A and B are shown apart, each in its own frame.
Chain A
């Protein structure tokens, strides 16, 4: 896929390599780089996914990184119905509607 100047894109870059990271990190964190993702408008005339590009962010900063996504989608959602939760409302109304108070 090709992006053109002005397209809304996401870039990615490594801010700290594993060896440059802070001390006292858990092993699993220490062995991976510190990565950053930022969205903005493409500054380059044309670019493909994986190219090194410049973007202009919402506040006008120019940032360089690898082109990761063009017109990135918001992928978080409402989730699936959770069987363990579905009857809570009914159960509570049943308790409220049955019999007298304790004690």
Chain B
């Protein structure tokens, strides 16, 4: 078979269909419209089934912990009557050390059920370890494909650590230099091996996260007598936010605000060989967070099941230095060494809590394991070696890729609001630009409205703005 870039990419749809086992054409409605809920129902598993299969492999049922000392600090910094309490879902307790086990567990279960011999995932993050770990539990082989090194051969420490973890679980790790063509090699491997593609964006992967939202709703009610007022997740590809929100709704927590938070890395190009090792966060940042929110179907499956604009009430940005600061705070004040990427949402929660009423409750929906390569000390040592300035000061001086500013005082931690309205506009703009759409049918307009939690009238207004 032809192995040139273009011919492999042209075989994408048939390779994907075979490797995911979902016939996406069944859910197509008209043009860009498709039936999202039907896809989630048919292709996924219901919450009960997911809970059961996760329990079998030790996934989920993680503790919800009140951050009492951090909450006392919040009270100190807040005006009278303000200072919501933060609880954190200690997802580090999952078998491979992150909530990603929830996503991997359903895919591994599915792959086993369908008779695949192995599973594959394209990921530089915790998901690789999760897939490798779940594959081991199911007796499946695993290949993890990472974007890892720059052209100098220098690997991002956090990604090198993930490679080590995957190898510890017995997986093959393929390490590729910077560039979106990783996907090309991934497709060739799927063709070669006939393995299951444990994409992060299938209905299975999202169904796996619904249990997280469901557990949070129930645990919070048990501990505080009510559902959380807000749940904050570290937003990148959209899976954790989408799945958590769906789980909260399934548990009846209809009034809980769903908030996404990302590290602000705007200005760094995600496909740049130079910018690659100027980042101290390999995920949870705007480089994934914005593009995936406004054009979810950019993912590796025809229809992405992670669609955050359906659920997200607010989107908050924080800086790398602020997240490192909160990572230290979590270790020193709560005895929990976690993160750092997973602490992005904690950082936003810390600032937000100071504006919310003192009887309100915020849940930070994840922690992740830490260690060599991932610690603030490892990441900042690497940053300094790669010409990034690290200094104490006002986080407002932050410049992605150039300057990491560690706050001097916790009162300097703040978030920047990224307006959801602007994301909706970008969503429409992407359709006009990428899909070269000029006219939309009524069904398409209704779909866009549903996909962005808007009205058809609002969508029409946005379209007219761009004309």
A residues near B, CB below 8 A?
Answer: 15-16, 20-22, 25-26, 28-29, 32-40, 57-61, 74-82, 84-85, 88-89, 91-93, 95-96, 101-103
Contact = CB atoms under 8 A, between A and B. Distances in A.
B400 to A, nearest CB: 15
Given A79-B380, A81-B377, A88-B328, A16 B184 contact: yes
Contacts of A16: 5, 181, 184
A65 to B, nearest CB: 11
A91 B311 CA distance: 38
B363 interface: no
Contacts of B409: 91
Contacts of A96: 69, 72-73, 76, 333
Contact of B185 (A36, A39, A60): A36
Closest A-B pairs by Cβ, 8 of them: A89-B332, A103-B80, A79-B381, A79-B377, A79-B378, A76-B373, A32-B151, A88-B328
B430 interface: no
A23 to B, nearest CB: 10
A76 B390 contact: no
B309 interface: no
B157 A92 contact: no
B180 interface: yes
Given A34-B176, A36-B174, 8 more contacts: A28-B274, A59-B171, A78-B378, A84-B406, A85-B377, A88-B406, A91-B409, A101-B75
B293 interface: no
24 contacts: A16-B5, A25-B179, A26-B272, A33-B151, A34-B181, A35-B149, A37-B148, A38-B173, A59-B142, A59-B172, A76-B161, A78-B378, A79-B377, A82-B376, A85-B328, A85-B406, A88-B325, A88-B328, A88-B406, A91-B409, A92-B329, A93-B333, A96-B76, A102-B79
Given A40-B172, A81-B377, A89-B328, A59 B273 contact: no
Contacts of A29: 178-179, 271-273
Q: Residue among A32, A58, A91 with the most chain B CB within 10 A?
A: A58
Contact of A15 (B176, B178, B328): B176
A81 B151 CA distance: 28
A25 B271 contact: yes
Contacts of B167: 39, 58
B149 to A, nearest CB: 7
